[in-house]
Amino acid sequence: MVPKGIILDCLCVLLGTNLGSAIKNHIPARINQPMNVIFGLSAIAIGITSVVKLHSLPAVILAFILGGLIGEAVNLDDRIKSLFQRILERLRFPIHGDKEVYMRFYLIVTVTFCASGTNIFGAINEGISGDFTILLSKAVMDIFAATLFATTLGRAMNLIVLPQFLILCACFYGARFILPLTTEAMLQDFVAVGGLLTLVLGLSIAQIKHISAVNLLPALVLIWPSSWLFGQWIG
């Protein structure tokens, strides 16, 4: 089965990236800044609607706390940031302005496109049912988001599409193997953790509060055993 939704979403990010890179010198700051806030608030809204679908609040909280602790302990944010920075410098992509600020925002955008709850759930849903409606809706939004983000990050954002495609394809092709090992409750809790991650990204994009979303990524793995354990305990 061909991951049509994933391919479409990645193409939309590429389209938006190159469009935004081409027009970035013609977009005044008075438009750019408010749009970042709007996209951030939109991400917060998407995150909240995903969180309310949770089945076990203790399982979600446990996975989120332990995921954050593991991410902080291994310094996941700095490790991935350094990796991307070395790649950008090796490929001679220009890093505009303050390098630390640029790479922090680059990492936020990377997680937004590669590991947001909507993207991952959409890829899993398409892998299970063949329905790519969720990713189609996300692709439409990603054109505008990529265009806006590229006015700050430039053509270096093209690099993000590679991990985006690989991560979403892994979810797509792995869905049929994962499904027999999961329950509906576990899937709901997974979506809720993805929603919390999207909410954190929204806070950072809107510049309300910066929290490292990268350090929270282990929660997306930990929620499966956490939800299963609480399901066994409650059952």
Buried b (16+ CB within 10 A) or exposed e, 187-220: bbbbbbbbbbbbbbbbbbbbeeeeebbbbbbbbb
Position 29 scores a pLDDT of 67
pLDDT tens profile 20-71: 988 877 777 667 777 788 888 888 988 898 888 889 999 999 999 999 999 9
* Mean pLDDT of all residues in 184-192: 90
pLDDT value at 167 more than 90: yes
Residue 180's alpha-carbon distances to 45, 73, 160, 183, 187, in angstroms, are 31, 32, 31, 8, 12
Report the C-alpha gap between 168 and 157 in whole angstroms: 17
Nearest to 112 by CA among 20, 198, 13, 51: 198
pLDDT tens profile 194-215: 889 999 988 988 888 888 888 9
Position 235 scores a pLDDT of 53
pLDDT-derived band at 234 (thresholds 50, 70, 90) equals low
Position 116 scores a pLDDT of 81
pTM of this structure: 0.86
Output the CA angle 34-20-163, nearest 5 degrees. 105
Q: In terms of C-beta density within 10 A (0-12 exposed, 13-18 middle, 19 or more buried), how is residue 137 classed?
A: middle
Give the list of residues 6+ apart from residue 214 with CB closer than 8 angstroms, or none: 71, 76, 77, 80, 81, 107, 111
Residue at token pair 């479409």: 8
pLDDT tens profile 70-90: 999 999 999 999 999 899 989
* Mean pLDDT of all residues in 119-134: 88
Position 117 scores a pLDDT of 78
**Radius of gyration from C-alpha coordinates of the chain:** 17
Specify the amino acid at residue 166: L
- Provide DSSP, 128-197: HH---HHHHHHHHHHHHHHHHHHHHHGGGGGGGHHHHHHHHHHHHHHHHHHGGG--HHHHHHHHHHHHHH
Look at residue 4 and give its three-state secondary structure: helix
* Mean pLDDT of all residues in 5-29: 89
Position 8 scores a pLDDT of 95
Both tokens of 87, joined, read 């790649």
* Mean pLDDT of all residues in 171-185: 85
* Mean pLDDT of all residues in 154-167: 93
Position 173 scores a pLDDT of 92
Report the C-alpha gap between 148 and 153 in whole angstroms: 9
More confident residue, 179 or 52: 52
Report the mean per-residue pLDDT for the chain: 88
